[in-house]
Structure 1
Amino acid sequence: MLFKNDVLAGIARGGVTLAFRRWQKPTVRTGGTLRTAVGVLAIDAIDVVDASDVTNEDAARSGHSSLDRLLADIEGQRAGTLYRIAFHLAGTDPRLELRNLTELGPTEREDLRRRLTALDRDVAWTLQTLRLITSHEGITAAELAGNTGFEKAALKQKIRKLKELGLTESLQSGYRISPRGRAFLDKV
């Protein structure tokens, strides 16, 4: 579930606590979490709703300036069932702290090596990708795909795994190596 920057700012301030999405099948579940650029959201409820039941309060709580704007946004979404998703900001993204940890002991370095080796089981890509990101801060998935031979969508999924390990960061456009990633690569 993606959010526009102004909605993310509203979530960070605590004013935005609802979203409306048309889905064939929900991509989040009640009790689950969702990581965003402003932190981790706890999903409180997901309800099927009819657009005619959406209120002015719903519009405000979803970051829209009016009910008409929310309804226009809903109409612009792909076909599917309309869901009302209630959530709250549960805390910071744990990857933020992880990617800033630069003191890597031998055990931690070995654990990262083992994890990268597991990611490379079909084809070696992790170190090549990390080095490309290191040498070209802001490099996009399309540019990386051209340099690695992977399809863009597949490569984006792979880079998410590096992000989970705290080795990369997503920028507004493209990627950069994290301080943890740099510390790891300095010892490889």
Structure 2
Amino acid sequence: MMFTDRVARGIAAGEITHVFRRWAVPRVRVGSTLHTTAGIVEIECVNRVDIREISDEDVRAAGEQNLATLSATLRGAERDPVFRIGVRYIGPDERIELSDRAELSKQEIGEIEASLARLDRASRRGPWTTAVLTAVADNHGCRAAELAELLGRDKDSLKLDVRKLKNLGLTRSLNIGYEISPRGDAYLRAIRSR
């Protein structure tokens, strides 16, 4: 489940306490956490609701102005149920601080290399980490579909791989597309200078 920047900021500020989604089955579990652009959000509850019973108070607590606006945000088939998902801000995303670190020791470079080697070994398509990192670095703000085309890959698997690099603090998601982080840039410079 993803949140727009506006919703993520509203959750972090305590102004948004739940969101609504239309799904065939729930796609999040109570107690799970999500990384957002504003920090880490915990799922507190997931309850099926009748859209006709959503109150004005519910609408405002979801950061929307009226039920029509809220309804317009619901994707999925009309026959699918609507869920109210309680959300709570936990704190900042530790990956942001990690990704800001542009000075890397030899040990940190070795740790990144080991992590990337594990990802490469686990992949059915073979080594991919350096190619994806380089593509992100060379194509600032490029969308997943465009990066996938550049690399001759499908968009969905590429998005998962970029997320793995983001978890290591090497890339960042932008409102549109991706960028290399200072940590990722420092790593690429280090391995290129050998």
Secondary structure at the residue paired with 1:31? coil
Q: Is the 8 A contact 1:28 1:34 kept in 2?
A: no
CA distance in 2, matches of 1:148, 1:26: 33
CA distance in 1, matches of 2:112, 2:19: 36
Q: Is the 8 A contact 1:104 1:184 kept in 2?
A: yes
In the alignment, which residue of structure 2 is the partner of 1:169? Answer: 172
User: Which runs of 5 or more residues in structure 1 are unaligned?
Assistant: none
Q: Is the 8 A contact 2:11 2:87 kept in 1?
A: no
Aligned length: 187
In the alignment, which residue of structure 2 is the partner of 1:8? Answer: 8
Q: How does 1:100-179 map to 2 (within 5 A)?
A: 100-121=100-121, 122=124, 123-179=126-182
The two structures, once aligned, show a CA RMSD in angstroms of 1.8
Q: Bigger shift: 117-126 or 174-183?
A: 117-126
Deviations 1:22-66 (A, max 9, x none): 112212111111111111111111112122321111000001112
- Normalised by the length of structure 2, the TM-score is 0.88
Of residues 175, 184, 193, the one that matches 1:181 is: 184
CA distance in 2, matches of 1:72, 1:141: 25
Deviations 1:86-128 (A, max 9, x none): 1111111111111012232222211211111122124121111
Deviation at 1:72, TM superposition (A): 4.6
User: Which runs of 5 or more residues in structure 2 are unaligned?
Assistant: none
Q: Is the 8 A contact 2:16 2:62 kept in 1?
A: yes
Deviation at 1:158, TM superposition (A): 0.8
Match for 2:156: what amino acid? A
The percentage of aligned residue pairs carrying the same residue is: 40
Secondary structure at the residue paired with 2:43? strand
Deviations 1:120-153 (A, max 9, x none): 1241211112112222212222222222221111
- Normalised by the length of structure 1, the TM-score is 0.90
Q: Bigger shift: 147-156 or 157-166?
A: 147-156
